[in-house]
Structure formats: C-alpha cells, structure tokens
Amino acid sequence: MRLLLFFFMLHLHNFFQISSPQTLPKNTTGYACNLNQTASSCQTYAFFQAMGPNQLDLASISDLFSVSRAMIAKPSNLTSLTSPLVPNQELFIPLTCTCNSVNTITSLSYAKLNYTIKKGDTFYFVSTNLFHNLTTYQSVETVNPNLVPINLTIGQDVIFPIFCKCPTKTQVQNQVSYLISYVFQPFDTVSSIASRFGSTTTSIVEVNGNDIRPWDTVFVPVSRLPELTQPSPSSVSSDHMSARRGEVIGLEIALGVCGILLILIGGLWTYREYLWRKKLGKNKVDPESKKFEVGVSLMADVSDCLDKYKVYKFEELHEATNGFDERWVIKGSVFKGYIEGKWYAIKKMKWNACEELKILQKVHHFILLISNCLYFLKSLFGDQGRI
C-alpha cells in the first residue's frame, strides 16, 4: 500500500512539473504555457538579423513573418521602408503570441506563421535558414500532425510555430511588458544578453533557467524595447549604388567591345561583297574557251591562304573528274571526282578565290571573338540574374 502511494505521489509531482511553464525542461517541441498564469495572447517581439542574399530588404522579411514593413521599421528604429539592409542588421519582428493546445494535456506558446512550401524546402531548412532557429523542425511536426515531413508538395501551406511567451501575471506586476524571443548564440552569455536588451541576469534566469545552450530560444523580460542602433540609409544606399555602378560600367564596356566587333564584321562583309562583284564583272568570259585555264597558280594561292587544307594539283582534279566530263557534273559547275579512293565534290572557279577566302577567314575569327565576348558577359552577369 505504501509503495503504491509512493508511486502515485511521484506521478502527481511529475504532472505538476510538466504543467508549470517556468519549471518545464526546455525541449525541441516548444515551450509550455498555462492559461491560469498568463494571458491567452499578447503582443511581443522576436530579435532577428537580416542575412543574405534573400533577406536584405524589409519586403522579403515582412512577407516571411506576414507583417507590414512599417510594423518592423518602427520598433527596429528604421527611418526608411525601402532602403536595402546590410548583412546581420538587427531587427525586432512583431509577433502575436498565443497559448495553443496541441493535445489534451499539453499547451504550447507560439506565434502561428503560415508558410507556403517551395522547391527544395524541408521543415529543417525553413526553421534554420529562414527563421534562424526561432523554431525547430520537431515543433513544426508537432503542430502539423497531418503532414508527412518527407512527402511535402510545392504550394502546401504549413504552420511554423515561432517560439514566444507572454508575461505572467506576476511579471506584469513587476513592470515586465515583453518577453523578447532571442536565439542564444555560441558566443553569448546571460550577462551579455541582459546588457544588450536592458534586462537583468536574475530575471532572465528566472524565466529560462540556468541550463541555456546554443540555439535555445531565450525569453528576455523587458519593460520596454531597447533602441537598436541602425546604419544610416544613405551609407547603405551608397554602398549598394557603388556595387550597382560597377556592374553597369562593366556591362557598358563589354557591350562597347561587342559593338565595335560587330561594326568591323559588317565592314569586312561589305568589302567582301564589293570585291566579289568587282571580280565577277572582270571575269565574264566564255566557259568553253577558258575550260582548262584554271591552273596550278590558283592552287598555290589557296594553299598560301589556307595551308591547313589539303591542296590538289589541277592535273589530279582533271583526272579525278575524267577531264571535267559533263557526265560527271553534279549541278552547275560542281563535278564529282574520285581521288585516293574517296569521292569528292569539285567546283570549278572562274576567278581567283584567294582574297575571298582570306576575308572569310577574318570573318570566322571575328565570330569567335563575338562568342568569347558573349561568354564573358554570361560569366560576369549570369549569377546576378538582373542588371
């Protein structure tokens, strides 16, 4: 009988420990609340630092926390709603904190934030990379029991519980207005946090206990929000504009080089057309009378221009086409010829093609330059995705 009574009292003791919001050991699923000791909801704040590259403007952060930019700017001591933020810039995010029942015996205190799943998202990624450990993936699983973490679909709405607490009745009587949600960093101490937010070490320990570890959410009791020191919008804008100006100058130089190359190519192409027409006018002769006039000198000129190509003597071409027999004509002045065990298409030219081939070589070289220029532009501005 005494043994049964002992186990009953032990179980009762553990039950009251779990029900108490101040003595509950912290865990990854969230922080307990008791409506008998705190209000059902309250206005509070979370300390948040802007981190790149997708959180360096108020619009992105306000969308993430489902509040307006002005609601962040005012408590954060920001004078501009549109100026870009710098990495690790400090902000106060307003939260509507509520005590929520997650099962028949447990209630957790958090701010409900709706988030739409995007490609590559997981509960862990969003909790750590976007909300910066103001919640945990275990807590997300707890408040979304019908979702399968390993089978999320793009566009699916998920509740992310941002950890927060409302002051108890006793804390309100002691002039505590807010319990600021702050993620404990590896280099933090309780005294440094107290100094940073204008609180006291004793009051922080009373709310959070002594066993505070990195990445735990610490609730800092304050009577009013401390004033955050912010960089001036002009200095942030000037840095941003300098970077943008460098990008624009680089783009202008690259486009200028490409423009000059295009002009040169156009001029060479026009000159090539002029030479072609000029030579065509000078070489209007009877095809039959000049049938065998194209000789070794033309092949030597072509060889000088394009020494990488194999050049055949006129006698070899004459023999390959059976004396340029009309029966061997493919079309027009193009003959089929059999040389060294292979069939070739052999075209009779009525003028010296050396100059034309030189121009074509130059055009080919400039096309390669244009390709390199475009590759340079892609490598320089492809990661920005914008100008």
pLDDT greater than 80 at residue 16: no
Confirm if 87 and 94 have CB atoms less than 8 A apart.
no
Write out pLDDT tens, residues 114-125: 999 999 999 999
pTM, rounded to two decimals: 0.56
pLDDT greater than 50 at residue 102: yes
Q: What pLDDT, on the 0 to 100 scale, is given for residue 86?
A: 93
CA distances from 338 to 294, 307, 320 (A): 19, 22, 5
Contacts of 256 (CB under 8 A, 6+ apart): none
DSSP-derived 3-state class of residue 385: coil
Write out pLDDT tens, residues 159-185: 999 999 999 999 999 999 999 999 999
Cα gap 320→152, rounded to integer Å: 71
At CA 135, angle to CA 216 and CA 130, rounded to 5? 115
Confirm if 321 and 346 have CB atoms less than 8 A apart.
yes
Write out pLDDT tens, residues 272-323: 777 777 776 655 545 544 444 444 444 444 444 444 556 677 788 878 777 7
DSSP-derived 3-state class of residue 28: coil
Cα gap 318→327, rounded to integer Å: 14
Cα distance between the two ends of the chain: 81
The more confidently predicted of residues 89 and 348 is 89
Write out pLDDT tens, residues 210-265: 889 999 999 999 999 999 999 877 555 455 455 556 566 767 787 777 778 888 88
Q: What pLDDT, on the 0 to 100 scale, is given for residue 228?
A: 93
Cα 82 off chain centre by? 21
Name the helix (H) or strand (E) containing 342.
strand 342-347
Q: What pLDDT, on the 0 to 100 scale, is given for residue 165?
A: 93
Q: How confident is the model at residue 386 (pLDDT cuts 50, 70, 90)?
A: very low
